[in-house]
């Protein structure tokens, strides 16, 4: 993902709330220059922040959260299991917070000579 795609994706979902390219660009640049964050980490972090600010709902994959936290897949899965246990102990339904999704099988086509 490049910077323009990141901004366009965020504007597609949050532009209706008045979020602008001019607001997003310095945040992204700050994350890159001052915090050495990847565009994927910045994108996921902004999605999380904007969803919270505007009471929207976003879904995050393990890869998204790994990019934000720097945890390994194994560490993250352990943390999710611990959180699930804590939610159950608190009388909450952990499925409202964590959803397991089976990957969809997809056909991939490769056209080495392009389409004519």
User: pLDDT by residue (tens digit) across 41-97?
Assistant: 999 999 999 999 999 999 999 999 998 888 999 999 999 999 999 999 999 999 999
Q: Write down how long the chain is.
A: 116
The conformation of residue 80, written as its DSSP 8-state character, comes to H
CA distance 97 to 47: 16
**Averaged pLDDT for residues 36-42:** 94
CA distance 104 to 68: 24
Q: What is the pLDDT of residue 78?
A: 97
CA distance 10 to 49: 11
Domain ranges of the chain: 3-59, 71-101
């Amino acid at each position: 993902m490049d910077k323009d795609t990141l901004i366009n994706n965020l504007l597609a979902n949050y532009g209706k709330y008045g979020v602008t390219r001019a607001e997003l660009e310095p945040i992204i640049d700050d994350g890159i220059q001052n915090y050495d964050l990847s565009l994927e980490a910045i994108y996921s972090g902004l999605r999380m922040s904007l969803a919270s600010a505007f009471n929207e709902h976003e879904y995050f994959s393990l890869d998204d959260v790994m990019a934000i936290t720097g945890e390994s897949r194994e560490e993250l899965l352990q943390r999710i299991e611990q959180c699930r246990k804590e939610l159950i102990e608190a009388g909450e339904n952990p499925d409202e917070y964590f959803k397991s999704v089976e990957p969809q099988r997809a056909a991939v086509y490769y056209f080495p000579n392009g389409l004519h």
